[in-house]
């Protein structure tokens, strides 16, 4: 008798035993938001209960800290000091105008 090779059902990709699904893996939560520096979206989305689009709309209305370019046009971050001000009183926050 010959052993038949077991195939996964069509559309299902078998996983290796050492495979880690990054989409389902728990992300490391930041211990605390540092007072100085900048926070990128990947960390901000764990702190702020808003979608990327809601953050953008609030930025334009002056109700959320403005993002800052960190080198290239695609690399942005939010100033941590402003994020602390927003987190202290989200309803009362107004972005400072320069």
CA atoms of 95 and 62, how far apart (whole Å): 5
Per residue in 7-49, pLDDT (tens digit) is 555 655 555 555 444 445 454 444 588 999 999 999 999 999 9
Looking at residue 20, what is its pLDDT? 47
CB atoms within 10 A of CB 39: 22
* Percent of the chain with pLDDT strictly greater than 90: 54
Taking only the tens place, the pLDDT of each residue in 46-71 is 999 999 999 999 999 999 999 999 99
Residue 80 has pLDDT above 90, yes or no: yes
pTM: 0.65
pLDDT of amino acid 73: 84
pLDDT of residue 10: 60
């Amino acid at each position: 008798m010959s052993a038949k090779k077991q195939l996964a059902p069509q559309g299902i990709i078998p996983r290796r035993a050492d495979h880690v699904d990054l989409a389902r893996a728990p992300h490391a939560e930041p211990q605390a938001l540092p007072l100085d520096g900048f926070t990128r979206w990947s960390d901000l989305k764990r702190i702020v209960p808003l979608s990327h689009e809601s953050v953008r709309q609030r930025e334009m209305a002056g109700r959320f800290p403005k993002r800052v370019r960190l080198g290239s046009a695609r690399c942005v971050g939010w100033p941590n000091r402003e994020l602390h001000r927003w987190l202290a009183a989200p309803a009362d926050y107004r972005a400072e105008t320069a």
